[in-house]
Structure 1
Amino acid sequence: MNSKDTYRCVQERYAGVARQTDGPHKLGDHERKVASAFGYDLEDLLSIPENANLGVSCGNPLAMANIGVGEVVIDLGSGGGIDVLLAAKKVGMEGKAIGIDMTKDMLDLARQNAENAGASNASFIEAFITSIPLPSSTADCIISNCVVNLVPEVEKTLVFQEMFRLLKPGGRVAISDILAKRELPIEIKKDLSLYVGCIAGASQVADYERYLKEAGFQDAVILDTNADLNIYKELWKNEKANGPGPSSSCCDSMNNSTSGEINNLPDVDFNIWTGEWIYK
């Protein structure tokens, strides 16, 4: 599948997640459970609109970003706005929190959440994170949460180049993502539902180190948090029992016609092959 088709599938998957906030599959306990498992404080989650937390995080980049008042923070793949809104609180009215996302439904949801939260220092831009329409040296800090793995492998270097370009001198990056512990089996790599679910597109640690170095970053620290990624199984089990949920898209039908693995998703032990890593 080429990059264009990959992006289309990712957009459809996450557009479905955004639309569910008004649909029959209401957000709630599962989303809070996922966010708590990956390092968010309940107090922080309760301080922003509930629909900002869509249960698709794999970490909490803000926990290591050391964001200060007056800074400019850019979130790559901002989704419903959870990290942008929390960052907006940290930078105060003297600073800015900017979310970048390629999915219109997500942007609509995030902007509504920002309005509901009264976060006038938060804004959102429609763009691919490989090419962001902002001037160089804009950000003090760049964050991202479980998004870089969704970029096609041939374009991942562009993401890190954009990070480096957008950072002010002395700026920093704080990113949570899923990385492969070893070479993924071909049946996982070809499973489109696992790709849009952030597993099949995971790169290995050595690849990330190379991306960072080639982009110009020095002294990057990449750490395995040892988080349990099997928490995502609950979501797929609920979908199987209650009907199509946020991962429902054209990719599901394409996947069924190719590998047929989607019905076996709950039997995959994600922790054997992948882990949640943070790098800064």
Structure 2
Amino acid sequence: MNAEDTYRSVQQRYASVATQANSNDQRDYERKVATAFGYDPEDLLSLPENANLGVSCGNPLATASISPGETVVDLGSGGGIDVLLAAKKVGPEGKAIGVDMTKDMLELARRNAKNAGASNTSFIEAFITSIPLPSSTVDCIISNCVINLVPDAEKHLVFQEIFRLLKPGGRVAISDILAKQELPLEIRQDLSLYVGCIAGASQVYDYEKYLKEAGFQDVLIINTNSDLNLYKEMSLNEDADKAPSKSSCCSTATTESKGTKGLPDVDFNHWTGELRHNPT
């Protein structure tokens, strides 16, 4: 699958996530996912109900050390959960900017920002490999379970953009899924697992290479040992009419693509891990 087809598949998947109506069961699922990956339940309750879509694999804000007055950019901002939480931290003198390539996600995020009264936020339609913002203007860049969705041939461009945008001394806090070892061919070729954040996971050493080649030093990659089977188990344990078909970031239980038969039995934790990256 070429890069254009990959982007199209990712956009279609997450457009459906953005536009599908939430049920009470769906919102319960989304809160469970977010809290399992480190979000404060009180923070989640303070957000518009559609800001948290249950597609996180960590909480980059927990290590971003954001201060009032700063400019923060979120790569792959989705429904706006991290942008809205960052907006509270930077305050009225700061800015929180979301970047996403999916129009439906951007529309949802802008509605959420309006409903939250977050006037210090903005959202940009762009690929995270080429962001229309001036160089050296951002204090902190965050991202949550998105870089793995970028085609392999273009992943290095993401880190070049991050380095370009950051001010001297700027910070990066990324939660993403990386491969602990080479993924089996049946996983790497499964489209549903690609759009579900598994099949596109880079090897740890590749991630380190991308960061260092972009110009980062003192790269720190932390394995949080999060349970990535969480998505799969929630999908399989829910009743059929309550299954979280919209938001299962790493779930195969509700996909329709060929080649997924039997894959719910795969232990994702054996192959991949949620890692946080804090290069400085």
TM-score of the superposition, structure 2-length normalised? 0.93
Match of 2:16 in 1: 16
Instruction: Tell me the percent identity.
Output: 75
Residue deviations 1:208-246 (CA, integer Å, cap 9, x gap): 100000000010100000000001114543799348932
Match of 2:196 in 1: 197
State whether residues 107 and 126 of structure 1, in contact with CA within 8 Å, keep that contact through their aligned partners in structure 2: yes
Within 5 Å, give how 1:163-182 maps onto structure 2: 163-182=162-181
Look up the equivalent residue of 1:113 and give its one-letter code. Answer: N
State whether residues 161 and 215 of structure 1, in contact with CA within 8 Å, keep that contact through their aligned partners in structure 2: yes
Paired with 2:16 and 2:204, the residues of 1 have a C-alpha distance of: 30
What is the Cα deviation at residue 51 of structure 1?
0.7
Q: Does 1:57 align with 2:36?
A: no
What is the Cα deviation at residue 148 of structure 1?
0.2
Q: Give the counterpart of 1:278 among 260, 269, 276.
A: 276
Paired with 1:247 and 1:80, the residues of 2 have a C-alpha distance of: 12
Match of 1:96 in 2: 95
RMSD: 1.9
Paired with 1:90 and 1:108, the residues of 2 have a C-alpha distance of: 23
Match of 2:226 in 1: 227
Residue deviations 1:80-124 (CA, integer Å, cap 9, x gap): 000000000000000000000000110000000000000000110
What is the Cα deviation at residue 25 of structure 1?
8.3
Paired with 1:133 and 1:240, the residues of 2 have a C-alpha distance of: 44
Residue deviations 1:188-225 (CA, integer Å, cap 9, x gap): 00011111000000001100100000000010100000
Paired with 2:239 and 2:25, the residues of 1 have a C-alpha distance of: 16
Match of 1:213 in 2: 212
Give the secondary-structure state (helix, strand or coil) at the position aligned to 1:125.
strand
State whether residues 233 and 265 of structure 1, in contact with CA within 8 Å, keep that contact through their aligned partners in structure 2: no
Give the secondary-structure state (helix, strand or coil) at the position aligned to 2:276.
strand
Q: How many residues align?
A: 272
Match of 1:40 in 2: 39
Paired with 1:23 and 1:43, the residues of 2 have a C-alpha distance of: 20
Give the secondary-structure state (helix, strand or coil) at the position aligned to 1:27.
helix
Paired with 1:24 and 1:90, the residues of 2 have a C-alpha distance of: 30
Residue deviations 1:111-159 (CA, integer Å, cap 9, x gap): 0000000000011000000000111012100000000000000000000
Question: Is the alpha carbon distance of 1:4 and 1:244 closer, same or farther for their aligned partners in structure 2, counting shifts above 3 Å?
Answer: farther
What is the Cα deviation at residue 264 of structure 1?
2.5
Paired with 2:238 and 2:147, the residues of 1 have a C-alpha distance of: 25
State whether residues 144 and 174 of structure 1, in contact with CA within 8 Å, keep that contact through their aligned partners in structure 2: yes
Question: Is the alpha carbon distance of 1:194 and 1:235 closer, same or farther for their aligned partners in structure 2, counting shifts above 3 Å?
Answer: farther
What is the Cα deviation at residue 28 of structure 1?
1.1
State whether residues 197 and 247 of structure 1, in contact with CA within 8 Å, keep that contact through their aligned partners in structure 2: no
TM-score of the superposition, structure 1-length normalised? 0.93
Paired with 1:104 and 1:137, the residues of 2 have a C-alpha distance of: 27
What is the Cα deviation at residue 61 of structure 1?
0.2
Give the secondary-structure state (helix, strand or coil) at the position aligned to 2:8.
helix
Structure 1 unaligned regions, length at least 5: none
Give the secondary-structure state (helix, strand or coil) at the position aligned to 2:262.
helix
Structure 2 unaligned regions, length at least 5: 249-254
